[in-house]
A = this chain, B = another copy of it.
Amino acid sequence: MTLSEEDYIKAIYHIGKGENTTVSTNSVAEEMDTKPSSVTDMVKKLSEKGLVNYKPYKGVSLTEHGQKTALTLVRKHRLWEVFLVEKLDFSWDEVHEVAEQLEHIKSEKLTDSLDKLLGYPEVDPHGDPIPSKKGEFKKAIKKLLSEVPIGKSGVCVGVKDSSAPFLKFLDKNNIALGDAVLVMDKEEFDGSLHIRIGDRDIHISQQIASNLYLKITE
């Protein structure tokens, strides 16, 4: 597999979780499924291009330019995800792979027109915020369902575990992004929950609840 500069930038951004932190070459290698020595080589090149700051043995961070590049990629990725779900009837667990390809298309006009077509969405189908053209972010206040106190409610906006089995479980149990959730009760000894979702009451294990993100509404 041959990886692009953009793939490296993205990995560095994601490991730093959007903060402008310094990350290790090892962690980048692991994230990208490649070898640390390959990362070192590429990082040198990116450094020469002014996209990252790099001091041998001291890790990598994105320059301002690099951050802009990363945010543009995130913006494009999430806009395409919205497009696929809203306009092409993809389900929210099918979009990632395709968006991964589409995010590399180079055309500012395309991105901006897409944004307009979609009505300037603020979040993607997974509940993650979409950076504006200028790269501004509204940070969503997200909590794991397992950490939401009894009586509080919110909107299901994302998952921590995005593996196919977990996504399938949610689908089977009719739990989807955008669903309103009310935490009704909690079993102290096993952490399982009683929740109201849509018009039905269901029981959720601690394991499930700790992989579902809610945006608290009340």
Binding site for B on A (CB under 8 A): 84, 87-90, 94, 97-98, 101-102, 104-107, 109-110, 113-114, 117
Chain copies in the assembly?
Answer: 2
A88 touches which of B90, B105, B110 (Cβ 8 Å): B110
Contacts A94-B109, A109-B94 given: A88-B101 contact, CB under 8 Å? Answer: no
Residue of B nearest to A114 (CB): B88
17 contacts between A and B (CB under 8 A): A84-B110, A87-B117, A88-B110, A88-B113, A88-B114, A88-B117, A90-B109, A90-B113, A94-B109, A97-B107, A98-B105, A98-B110, A101-B105, A101-B106, A101-B107, A102-B102, A102-B105
A17 to chain B, nearest CB (A): 28
Contact A107 B113 (CB under 8 A): no
A210 to chain B, nearest CB (A): 32
Contact B94 A98 (CB under 8 A): no
